[in-house]
Amino acid sequence: MSVCECLLFLHAFTGCDTTSRVYGIGKATALKLLRHNIEFQDVCKCFITSASKEEVIQHGERAMIMLIGGGSTGNLDTLRFQRFNAKVTANTTCVQVHTLPPTSAATVFHSLRVYLQCQVWIGNTSLQADEWGWQMKNGMYVPIKTNLPAAPEQILNVVRCNCKTNCDSKRCTCRKNGLECSYSCGTCRGISCTNSIQIDESVDDMTIYTEKS
Ligand SMILES: *[C@@H]1O[C@H](CO)[C@@H](O)[C@H](O)[C@H]1NC(C)=O
Ligand SMILES: *[C@@H]1O[C@H](CO)[C@@H](O)[C@H](O)[C@H]1NC(C)=O
Ligand SMILES: [Zn+2]
Ligand SMILES: [Zn+2]
Protein backbone atom coordinates (compact mmCIF):
# COMPACT_ATOMS: atom_id res chain seq x y z
CA MET A 1 0.00 0.00 0.00
CA SER A 2 1.58 3.30 -1.01
CA VAL A 3 1.83 6.34 1.26
CA CYS A 4 -0.38 8.22 -1.14
CA GLU A 5 -3.20 5.70 -0.87
CA CYS A 6 -3.04 5.86 2.93
CA LEU A 7 -3.48 9.61 3.23
CA LEU A 8 -7.26 9.44 3.61
CA PHE A 9 -6.90 7.07 6.51
CA LEU A 10 -4.15 9.16 8.04
CA HIS A 11 -6.21 12.33 7.86
CA ALA A 12 -9.32 10.75 9.39
CA PHE A 13 -7.46 8.83 12.08
CA THR A 14 -5.55 11.88 13.33
CA GLY A 15 -8.65 14.08 13.31
CA CYS A 16 -10.82 15.71 10.69
CA ASP A 17 -14.23 17.44 10.65
CA THR A 18 -16.01 14.24 11.64
CA THR A 19 -13.40 12.51 13.81
CA SER A 20 -11.49 13.48 16.95
CA ARG A 21 -7.84 14.35 17.17
CA VAL A 22 -5.54 12.03 19.05
CA TYR A 23 -4.11 14.03 21.93
CA GLY A 24 -0.49 15.01 21.35
CA ILE A 25 -0.21 13.42 17.88
CA GLY A 26 0.02 15.78 14.94
CA LYS A 27 -0.33 15.04 11.25
CA ALA A 28 3.41 15.40 10.67
CA THR A 29 4.24 12.75 13.26
CA ALA A 30 1.72 10.40 11.72
CA LEU A 31 3.01 11.01 8.20
CA LYS A 32 6.54 10.27 9.30
CA LEU A 33 5.41 6.98 10.81
CA LEU A 34 3.51 6.11 7.66
CA ARG A 35 6.52 6.70 5.43
CA HIS A 36 8.86 4.58 7.47
CA ASN A 37 6.72 1.83 8.90
CA ILE A 38 5.47 -0.93 6.65
CA GLU A 39 3.25 -2.41 9.34
CA PHE A 40 1.48 0.93 9.70
CA GLN A 41 0.91 1.02 5.94
CA ASP A 42 -0.55 -2.43 6.20
CA VAL A 43 -2.98 -1.31 8.90
CA CYS A 44 -4.16 1.54 6.64
CA LYS A 45 -5.27 -0.86 3.98
CA CYS A 46 -8.11 -2.14 6.13
CA PHE A 47 -9.75 1.29 6.20
CA ILE A 48 -9.87 1.88 2.47
CA THR A 49 -11.05 -1.57 1.47
CA SER A 50 -14.08 -3.60 2.34
CA ALA A 51 -13.67 -4.79 5.93
CA SER A 52 -15.70 -6.14 8.83
CA LYS A 53 -16.17 -4.27 12.09
CA GLU A 54 -13.95 -6.74 13.87
CA GLU A 55 -11.12 -6.08 11.40
CA VAL A 56 -11.58 -2.33 11.67
CA ILE A 57 -11.51 -2.49 15.47
CA GLN A 58 -8.44 -4.69 15.52
CA HIS A 59 -6.50 -2.60 12.98
CA GLY A 60 -7.60 0.63 14.65
CA GLU A 61 -6.13 -0.48 17.95
CA ARG A 62 -2.84 -1.43 16.25
CA ALA A 63 -2.74 1.95 14.51
CA MET A 64 -3.33 3.79 17.79
CA ILE A 65 -0.61 1.85 19.60
CA MET A 66 1.89 2.56 16.83
CA LEU A 67 0.97 6.24 16.70
CA ILE A 68 1.57 6.78 20.38
CA GLY A 69 4.84 4.92 20.22
CA GLY A 70 3.79 1.75 22.01
CA GLY A 71 5.85 -0.74 20.04
CA SER A 72 4.43 -3.68 18.16
CA THR A 73 2.99 -5.85 20.91
CA GLY A 74 0.53 -5.48 23.76
CA ASN A 75 -2.80 -3.71 23.91
CA LEU A 76 -3.88 -0.16 24.58
CA ASP A 77 -5.23 -0.68 28.09
CA THR A 78 -1.94 -2.22 29.22
CA LEU A 79 -0.04 0.60 27.59
CA ARG A 80 -2.29 3.15 29.29
CA PHE A 81 -1.63 1.52 32.64
CA GLN A 82 2.14 1.49 32.03
CA ARG A 83 2.15 5.15 31.03
CA PHE A 84 0.07 5.98 34.08
CA ASN A 85 2.55 4.24 36.37
CA ALA A 86 5.44 6.02 34.70
CA LYS A 87 3.75 9.37 35.22
CA VAL A 88 2.97 8.62 38.86
CA THR A 89 6.60 7.78 39.44
CA ALA A 90 7.79 10.92 37.69
CA ASN A 91 5.38 13.30 39.37
CA THR A 92 3.27 12.29 42.31
CA THR A 93 1.54 15.67 42.46
CA CYS A 94 -0.78 15.08 39.60
CA VAL A 95 -1.34 12.93 36.53
CA GLN A 96 -3.12 14.69 33.72
CA VAL A 97 -5.50 12.04 32.51
CA HIS A 98 -5.89 13.49 29.02
CA THR A 99 -2.19 12.90 28.34
CA LEU A 100 -2.62 9.13 28.74
CA PRO A 101 -3.27 6.90 25.72
CA PRO A 102 -6.99 6.47 24.98
CA THR A 103 -8.67 3.35 26.31
CA SER A 104 -9.22 0.41 24.06
CA ALA A 105 -13.00 0.90 24.35
CA ALA A 106 -12.83 4.54 23.26
CA THR A 107 -10.56 3.61 20.37
CA VAL A 108 -13.13 1.10 19.11
CA PHE A 109 -15.62 3.88 18.42
CA HIS A 110 -12.95 6.20 17.02
CA SER A 111 -11.87 3.49 14.58
CA LEU A 112 -15.45 2.84 13.48
CA ARG A 113 -15.96 6.54 12.73
CA VAL A 114 -12.66 6.69 10.86
CA TYR A 115 -13.68 3.71 8.76
CA LEU A 116 -17.06 5.28 7.99
CA GLN A 117 -15.42 8.55 6.94
CA CYS A 118 -12.83 6.83 4.74
CA GLN A 119 -15.54 4.77 3.07
CA VAL A 120 -17.64 7.85 2.37
CA TRP A 121 -14.60 9.56 0.85
CA ILE A 122 -13.96 6.68 -1.51
CA GLY A 123 -17.60 6.60 -2.53
CA ASN A 124 -19.11 3.86 -0.37
CA THR A 125 -22.27 5.53 0.88
CA SER A 126 -24.05 2.36 1.92
CA LEU A 127 -22.95 2.42 5.57
CA GLN A 128 -25.27 3.60 8.36
CA ALA A 129 -23.71 6.14 10.74
CA ASP A 130 -25.44 4.61 13.74
CA GLU A 131 -23.62 1.36 13.18
CA TRP A 132 -20.24 3.05 12.91
CA GLY A 133 -19.59 4.96 16.12
CA TRP A 134 -22.46 7.47 16.09
CA GLN A 135 -25.73 7.60 17.97
CA MET A 136 -28.87 9.69 17.65
CA LYS A 137 -29.39 12.00 20.64
CA ASN A 138 -32.14 14.59 20.66
CA GLY A 139 -32.41 14.37 16.88
CA MET A 140 -28.70 14.85 16.23
CA TYR A 141 -25.85 12.48 15.54
CA VAL A 142 -23.27 12.56 18.33
CA PRO A 143 -20.15 10.42 18.61
CA ILE A 144 -20.22 7.49 21.04
CA LYS A 145 -17.21 8.11 23.26
CA THR A 146 -17.02 4.73 24.93
CA ASN A 147 -19.20 1.96 26.30
CA LEU A 148 -17.48 1.82 29.66
CA PRO A 149 -18.07 4.08 32.68
CA ALA A 150 -15.51 6.90 33.02
CA ALA A 151 -14.26 5.37 36.28
CA PRO A 152 -15.19 2.61 38.72
CA GLU A 153 -18.60 3.12 40.31
CA GLN A 154 -17.17 3.90 43.76
CA ILE A 155 -15.28 6.87 42.30
CA LEU A 156 -18.12 8.09 40.12
CA ASN A 157 -20.37 8.13 43.18
CA VAL A 158 -18.07 10.74 44.68
CA VAL A 159 -18.78 13.08 41.78
CA ARG A 160 -22.37 14.21 42.03
CA CYS A 161 -24.27 17.44 42.08
CA ASN A 162 -27.16 18.92 43.93
CA CYS A 163 -28.27 21.52 41.40
CA LYS A 164 -31.66 23.14 41.65
CA THR A 165 -31.32 24.74 38.24
CA ASN A 166 -31.39 22.04 35.60
CA CYS A 167 -27.60 21.40 35.63
CA ASP A 168 -27.07 23.73 32.69
CA SER A 169 -24.25 25.85 34.09
CA LYS A 170 -20.62 25.16 34.87
CA ARG A 171 -21.53 25.25 38.54
CA CYS A 172 -22.90 21.74 38.13
CA THR A 173 -20.14 19.49 39.49
CA CYS A 174 -21.00 16.71 37.09
CA ARG A 175 -20.90 18.95 34.02
CA LYS A 176 -17.69 20.58 35.22
CA ASN A 177 -16.02 17.16 35.36
CA GLY A 178 -17.29 16.14 31.94
CA LEU A 179 -19.61 13.51 33.41
CA GLU A 180 -23.27 12.97 32.82
CA CYS A 181 -25.48 13.26 35.89
CA SER A 182 -26.32 10.00 37.58
CA TYR A 183 -28.66 8.42 40.05
CA SER A 184 -26.47 9.70 42.89
CA CYS A 185 -27.25 13.35 42.08
CA GLY A 186 -29.41 15.00 44.72
CA THR A 187 -32.10 16.72 42.74
CA CYS A 188 -31.99 15.63 39.12
CA ARG A 189 -31.23 11.93 39.74
CA GLY A 190 -29.62 11.82 36.32
CA ILE A 191 -32.95 11.77 34.54
CA SER A 192 -34.55 15.18 34.62
CA CYS A 193 -31.82 17.72 33.81
CA THR A 194 -30.00 18.99 30.72
CA ASN A 195 -26.93 16.98 31.71
CA SER A 196 -28.69 13.60 31.73
CA ILE A 197 -28.28 10.92 29.11
CA GLN A 198 -31.12 11.13 26.63
CA ILE A 199 -30.72 8.51 24.00
CA ASP A 200 -33.06 7.90 21.12
CA GLU A 201 -34.81 4.71 22.16
CA SER A 202 -34.68 3.24 18.68
CA VAL A 203 -30.90 2.96 18.75
CA ASP A 204 -29.42 0.34 20.99
CA ASP A 205 -25.96 1.81 20.64
CA MET A 206 -24.06 0.02 23.36
CA THR A 207 -24.28 -3.31 21.59
CA ILE A 208 -23.09 -1.96 18.29
CA TYR A 209 -19.78 -3.62 17.96
CA THR A 210 -20.57 -6.92 19.58
CA GLU A 211 -23.76 -7.71 17.74
CA LYS A 212 -22.03 -9.53 14.93
CA SER A 213 -19.54 -11.45 17.00
C1 LIG B 1 -19.15 -0.61 1.77
O2 LIG B 1 -18.50 -1.07 2.95
C3 LIG B 1 -19.08 -2.23 3.51
C4 LIG B 1 -18.37 -2.55 4.81
O5 LIG B 1 -17.03 -2.83 4.61
C6 LIG B 1 -18.99 -3.36 2.51
O7 LIG B 1 -19.58 -4.53 3.05
C8 LIG B 1 -19.71 -2.97 1.23
O9 LIG B 1 -19.52 -3.97 0.25
C10 LIG B 1 -19.14 -1.66 0.69
N11 LIG B 1 -19.94 -1.22 -0.43
C12 LIG B 1 -19.39 -0.73 -1.54
C13 LIG B 1 -20.36 -0.28 -2.59
O14 LIG B 1 -18.19 -0.65 -1.71
C1 LIG C 1 4.05 18.01 38.58
O2 LIG C 1 2.84 18.37 37.95
C3 LIG C 1 2.32 19.62 38.37
C4 LIG C 1 0.98 19.81 37.68
O5 LIG C 1 1.05 19.61 36.29
C6 LIG C 1 3.32 20.72 37.99
O7 LIG C 1 2.82 21.97 38.41
C8 LIG C 1 4.65 20.44 38.67
O9 LIG C 1 5.60 21.38 38.27
C10 LIG C 1 5.14 19.03 38.30
N11 LIG C 1 6.36 18.71 39.06
C12 LIG C 1 7.43 18.20 38.49
C13 LIG C 1 8.56 17.88 39.43
O14 LIG C 1 7.52 17.97 37.29
ZN1 LIG D 1 -26.02 19.27 38.28
ZN1 LIG E 1 -28.21 16.86 36.68
- Per-residue pLDDT at 201: 44
Query: For position 202, what pLDDT does the model report?
Result: 42
Closest ligand 2 atom to 91 CA:
1
What does the alpha-carbon distance between residue 47 and residue 59 come to, in Å, rounded to a whole number? 8
Q: Whose CA is nearest to atom 12 of ligand 1?
A: 124
pLDDT by 10s per residue, the chain, length 213:
688 999 999 999 999 999 999 999 999 999 999 999 999 999 999 999 999 999 999 999 999 999 999 876 789 999 999 999 999 888 777 788 889 999 999 999 999 999 999 999 999 999 999 999 999 988 999 999 999 887 787 777 788 899 988 899 889 999 988 888 888 888 888 888 999 876 544 444 443 333 333
* Smallest-distance ligand from the CA of 94: 2
Ligand 2: which residue has its CA nearest to atom 10?
A: 91
- The closest of 3, 4, 69, 11 to 38, measured between CA atoms, is 3
> 116: closest CA among 6, 11, 12, 1?
12
- Residue 50 Cβ < 6 Å to ligand 1: yes
Ligand 1 proximity of 125 Cβ (cutoff 6 Å) = no
CA of 150 to the centre of ligand 3 (A): 17
